Structure 1
Amino acid sequence: MNHLLLLAPVVAVLALLLTWLLRRYALARSIIDMPTARSSHTIPTPRGGGVAIVISFLISLPLLLMWDVVASNTLWALLGAGVLIAVIGFLDDHGHIAARWRLLGHFSAAAWVLYWLGGFPGLTIFGVTISVSWIGNVLAAFYLVWMLNLYNFMDGIDGLASIEALSTCLGVCFIYWLAGYEGLIWLPFLLSMAVLGFLFWNFPPARIFMGDAGSGFLGMILGGLSLQAAWHSTDLLWVWLILLGVFIVDATFTLFRRLLNGCKVYEAHRSHAYQFASRRVGSHLPVTLSILAINVFWLLPIALCVALFGLEGWVGVLIAYLPLLLLAFKFRAGERE
Structure 2
Amino acid sequence: MMGMLAVLAAFAASWLTLGGLLKRRHVLPMDHPNARSLHATPTPRIGGLGIMAGVIVAGLWLADAALLPILLGATALAGLSLADDVRGLPVYVRFLAHFVAAAACLLTLGLSGWSLLAGTLAVVWMTNLYNFMDGADGLAGGMAVIGFGALALAAWLGDAPVLAAFCAAPAAAALAFLRFNFPPARLFMGDAGSIPLGFMAATLGILGARQGVWPWAFPLIVFSPFIVDATATLARRASRGEKVWRAHRSHYYQRVVLLGASHRQLAVAAWGLMLAMAALGFLLRSFPQQATALLILSAAIYLLIFFAIDRRWRLARNEV
Same fold (TM over 0.5): yes
- Structure 2 residue aligned with 1:86: 78
CA distance in 1, matches of 2:299, 2:18: 34
SS at match of 1:78: helix
- Structure 2 residue aligned with 1:13: 12
Aligned counterparts, 1:18-37, within 5 A = 18-25=17-24, 27-37=25-35
Alpha-carbon contact 2:7-2:58 (below 8 Å) kept:
no
- Structure 1 residue aligned with 2:99: 107
- Is 1:145 paired with 2:136? no
Q: Which whole-Å deviations, capped at 9, do the CAs of 1:61-98 have from their partners, x for residues lacking one? A: 22114xxxxx31321x1122112211221011012111
For residue 9 of structure 1, report the CA deviation from its aligned partner: 2.0
Aligned counterparts, 1:243-282, within 5 A = 243-282=222-261
Identical-pair percentage: 33
- Is 1:327 paired with 2:320? no
CA distance in 1, matches of 2:212, 2:293: 16
For residue 272 of structure 1, report the CA deviation from its aligned partner: 0.3
For residue 185 of structure 1, report the CA deviation from its aligned partner: 1.1
Alpha-carbon contact 2:47-2:193 (below 8 Å) kept:
yes
- Structure 1 residue aligned with 2:288: 310
Which amino acid is 2:215 matched to? Answer: L
Matched residues, number: 314
- Is 1:160 paired with 2:159? no
Alpha-carbon contact 2:46-2:187 (below 8 Å) kept:
yes
SS at match of 1:250: helix
Unaligned stretches of 5+ residues in structure 2: none
Q: 1:299 aligns with which of 277, 287, 292?
A: 277
- Stretch moving more, 175-184 or 204-213: 175-184
Alpha-carbon contact 1:235-1:306 (below 8 Å) kept:
no
When normalised by structure 1's length, the TM-score is: 0.87
For residue 234 of structure 1, report the CA deviation from its aligned partner: 7.8
For residue 24 of structure 1, report the CA deviation from its aligned partner: 3.4
Change (3 A) 1:312 1:135: farther
For residue 183 of structure 1, report the CA deviation from its aligned partner: 4.4
Alpha-carbon contact 1:162-1:199 (below 8 Å) kept:
yes
CA distance in 2, matches of 1:30, 1:5: 32
Change (3 A) 1:308 1:179: farther
